[in-house]
Amino acid sequence: MAIEIVMPRLGWTMEEGTLVEWIKKDGDTVQPGEIMFVIESDKALNEVESFEAGIFRIPPNSDVLGKTLPVGTVLAYVAQPGEALPFEQAPSAVLAAPAQTSAAASSPVPVQQIPVIQTSAAQSSNGSSLPNISPRARRVAHELGIEWAVLKGSGRTGRIVERDVRAAAVSAPQTAAAQVSPVAKRAAEELGVDIHQLAAQMPGQRITREHVERAALPTAPAATTQPTAAETRTPMPRVRQVIAERMSASAQTTAPVTLTTEVDATELVKVRQGLKAAGKADRRPVPSYNDLLAKLVAEVLRDHPQLNARIEGDEIVTSGSVNVGFAVDVERGLLVPVVRDVAAKSIRQIAAEGAALVDRARSNTLRSDDLSGGTFTITNLGMYDIDAFTPIINLPQCAILGMGRIVPKQVVVDAEAERLAIRHMMFLSLTFDHRLVDGAPAARFLKQVKQFIEQPYLWLVN
């Protein structure tokens, strides 16, 4: 029996997804581990792999491409050679009796035969065998626009692996069209934008849906003696819709309170400068202030577990591990990838994982798992010269910590001696859900965070 391929649920909160690209075409041979199509769920693009071998079939006149569909919607089928599909059976064949009692009875309507490709390996459209490639290598080839079918693999048994694809990307210049994201291609078709012309105007840049939507805007009319302002309307991207829904839900569901304090970060600056110098010598990842604060916060949450909790129905669930989300601003919108079990990891490990997540966020290759499971969030606007702000709680979490810029200031270090000094100062803004935590416990948490920033040796020796 043919296997239904449905819109998958890629996370507990996922209710619908958008099919943005077919990787396999109707009639293609598919093997386990091969990518069939790409869907967009919430804020991430996900490549869906096959668990079965067979012939990939898309129902005729299917209009699911580009559509937002509920989880469980049938998108395609994987059938075995000669196997009938629901959309290929005529009604008389489906409803026919199991046995004919009369020779005059009409013969059943013949079922259309599925094309048979007798091979255990994938084949190209002209029938020639394609080389074996790992799923990860195929994914990278798709991202970089590399034609992997012509590559020679260096893996076991000649399999193409990721290093082969990346080497080909370095040795061969990519065309402008290869830098177009699948979502941008679909948007260009819908909005009537010439993607090749747009690529020519943006050499060396990856074209995203936002670029296409801007290109689709009407050009401003020629200046007249009485110029008038014109409105522009563009469809709200799916990511923006998700952000709007979650921010509204947070504002309407939680009882948010924000506490702000100023911190002397001089010693923390010295710690990072030392790590930066050591990193240059051994070429290891240099921890950012976000990484240092994540490790520090994880240590503080051990003493204040009520801020590492969430509400589920009538229960308060306190997480046994600290999974820290980092707010990342990318072209598609605000994403919050998660580093898991921060308390059990070294600062170097946190830095490496955090850098990889940020890279995937900016290259639009985050997986659903990268965005789920967070128990506490850190957001940093210091690079934009912001001192203090009011972060919005990332549901279902209890709290979020905002970092302002670190700036040298003249401060009083000894009031009795009337002595001043130049210190590196920073504001912290903690927004917490008053349904879960009262003001005093939240203030004690923020006070200990401040203490750990001003005296890093208190947690670095743990």
- Domain boundaries, given as residue ranges, for the chain: 3-90+114-130, 178-215, 254-460
Q: Looking at the predicted structure, is the pLDDT value of residue 114 above 60?
A: no
Q: For residues 145 and 135, what is the distance between their CA atoms, to the nearest angstrom?
A: 15
The CATH number of 3-90+114-130 is: 2.40.50.100
Q: Looking at the predicted structure, is the pLDDT value of residue 176 above 70?
A: no
Separation in Å, CA 122 to CA 28, 32, 138, 148, 340? 8, 11, 13, 13, 37
pLDDT at position 123, please?
47
Closest CA to 297 of 411, 377, 357, 239: 377
Long-range contacts of the stretch 363-368 (C-beta < 8 A, 24+): 363/143, 364/45, 364/181, 364/208, 364/330, 364/332, 365/45, 365/139, 365/143, 366/43, 366/44, 366/45, 366/335, 366/337, 367/44, 367/46, 368/10, 368/11, 368/14, 368/41, 368/42, 368/44, 368/46
> Residue 173, preceding bond cis, omega within 30 degrees?
no
Q: Looking at the predicted structure, is the pLDDT value of residue 104 above 50?
A: no
Mean pLDDT, range 438-455, rounded to an integer: 96
The answer to whether the beta carbons of residues 459 and 452 sit under 8 Å apart is: yes
Label residue 12 by pLDDT band (50, 70, 90). Answer: low
Separation in Å, CA 437 to CA 129, 254, 306, 344, 445? 62, 11, 7, 25, 11
pLDDT tens-place string over residues 295-352? 999 999 999 999 999 999 889 999 999 999 999 988 778 899 999 999 999 999 999 9
Tell me, yes or no, if the two domains 3-90+114-130 and 254-460 fold the same way: no
Q: Which two tokens stand for residue 32?
A: 């386990």
Label residue 220 by pLDDT band (50, 70, 90). Answer: low
Q: For residues 2 and 82, what is the distance between their CA atoms, to the nearest angstrom?
A: 10
pLDDT at position 304, please?
96
Other Cβ atoms within 10 Å of 361 Cβ, number: 23
Q: What residues act catalytically?
A: 434, 438
Domain 254-460 fold: Chloramphenicol Acetyltransferase (3.30.559)
Label residue 100 by pLDDT band (50, 70, 90). Answer: very low
Average pLDDT across the chain, whole number: 80
The helix (run of H) or strand (run of E) holding residue 450 is helix 439-454
Residue 220, amino acid: A
pLDDT at position 93, please?
37
Closest CA to 238 of 67, 393, 363: 67
The dihedral over CA atoms of 88, 90, 94, 97, expressed in degrees to the nearest 10, equals -140
Label residue 56 by pLDDT band (50, 70, 90). Answer: very high
DSSP result, 384-434: GT-----PPP-TTBSEEEEE---EEEEEEEETTTTEEEEEEEEEEEEEEET
Eight-state DSSP code of residue 86: G
Q: For residues 404 and 390, what is the distance between their CA atoms, to the nearest angstrom?
A: 11
Closest CA to 375 of 348, 398, 409, 406: 398
pLDDT tens-place string over residues 231-286? 877 777 777 777 888 888 888 889 999 999 999 999 999 999 998 888 777 777 78
Cα dihedral 268, 273, 278, 279 sign: positive
